[in-house]
Amino acid sequence: MYFLYLDDSGFVQNINEHHFVLGGFCIHGHKIYWLKKYLDDLAKEILPENPEALEFHASEIHSGKGIWKSISKPNRQEIIRKVLWALEREKSNTAAFACAVYKPDHPTKHPVEYAFEDLCSRFEMFLNRTFHQENQRVKGIIILDKSIYENILQKLAISFQQFGTRWRTLTNLVEVPMFIDSKSSRLIQLADHVAYAVFRRYQALDLKYFDVIQRLFDTDENGVIHGLEHKHHSLSCTCIACLR
């Protein structure tokens, strides 16, 4: 079983932000313990007296809010990179996924729904490819951070399972998405960091976090990147998603 953990970055209604990102990573069930252990151990290093109370929330760490304000900016940036490094450590049977929507080019589409449909389709593609490579049927489930979009995405997922997305039918997703509180899930916190790294890359042209995960996006045997999508109408973008 593969689990796709997703979180969002950017505010849909914020006209000062041109991009919205839904992103995260998928992981095989047998890898979950080790990924969580790495993040738990990192929390113990940072807050040894109460590591369970520490939530890795990328935007708060980057801006120095809350408990992070007492830590210098270079050290906060290094913490974000260390969180993202968890994917590199467990890169077998894992892959990063993200969809960045350039909102001005898609005024009639809801960015959350548009990105979610895209990633459902890409996750299905990943599961199908894994089946052909390993000659063993694999299934998947999507897990997201709790949000105001929960009901919308649940209904969309049911529709996708019945009728497919605009790109393909979904035969390998075993259930509608699960929604859990990020405070209780280190893996949702990691998904938050992936989404934030992609958001910073497109919104602020800041690559220092994106560089950690750039080569971890789902890629087929021919080197074609499928795990990252940049939805916009420009022909001049030179990001790895557009150049593929």
Q: What is the pLDDT of residues 55-81, one digit of tens each?
A: 999 999 999 998 899 999 999 999 999
Residue-wise pLDDT for 130-179, tens only, equals 877 777 778 899 999 988 787 788 888 778 777 767 776 777 788 788 89
Mean of pLDDT values over 114-137: 87
Domains of the chain: 2-243 (3.30.420)
Residue-wise pLDDT for 6-17, tens only, equals 999 998 888 899
Is 19's pLDDT higher than 80? yes
What's the CA gap between 170 and 157, in Å, rounded? 10
Mean of pLDDT values over 32-57: 93
Is 40's pLDDT higher than 80? yes
This prediction's pTM = 0.94
Least confident of 36-40, 42-46, 178-182, 189-193: 178-182
Instruction: Retrieve residue 6's tokens.
Output: 């997703």
What pLDDT shows up at residue 123? 94
